Amino acid sequence: MDDLNGKKSNNPLVSIIAGSTSDKEVYEKAIKVLNENNISYDLQIISAHRDPDKLDDYLKHSKVLIYIAVAGLSAALPGTIASKTDKPVIGVPVSAKLGGLDALLSIVQMPPQVPVACVGIDRGENAAYLAIKILNLRNK
């Protein structure tokens, strides 16, 4: 994991927030792609369900441009982040139970006005690739 932390930065462009360290295999896929593309990121393990105040505090002080939210089970995390930021949120459903269908539906089925982009189950790398495409808009 240490080598994957190479591009962690004080002024990150992307924030990866995972609900648990048990999602590590999935968020490491995103970290690998961000590192390969020299995109600075911050990694946080914060559960919206378990530690809502910590999430609130982090988001209030965060200056990143894009959030990648990795969560399994009843994946409230991406939607909660989306409710508190005007930046894009990309959700990654994790196959913790039910093959990840529970998390996929939780992330996709956001109510009107609070969109969350969603990549495939366990597709942490695609969340990073999508984040890079969004960041590329800055150079157009």
CB of 38 to ligand C2R, least distance (A): 27
Complex with ligand C2R: residue 34 or 96, whichever CB lies closer: 96
Residue from 73, 69, 70, 68 nearest 101 by CA:
73
Which one of 47, 83, 85, 126 is in contact with ligand C2R (CB under 6 A)? Answer: 47
CA torsion sign for 110, 85, 53, 95 is positive
Tell me how far apart the alpha carbons of residues 125 and 7 are, in angstroms, rounded to a whole number: 16
In whole angstroms, how close is the CB of 96 to ligand C2R at the nearest point? 4
| CB closer to ligand C2R out of 23 and 132 | 23
Contact indicator for 31, 6 with CB cutoff of 8 Å: no
| Beta-ladder partners of 65 | none
Does position 121 bind ligand C2R by CB under 6 A? no
By CB under 6 A, name the binding residues for ligand C2R.
19-20, 22-23, 47-50, 71-77, 94, 96
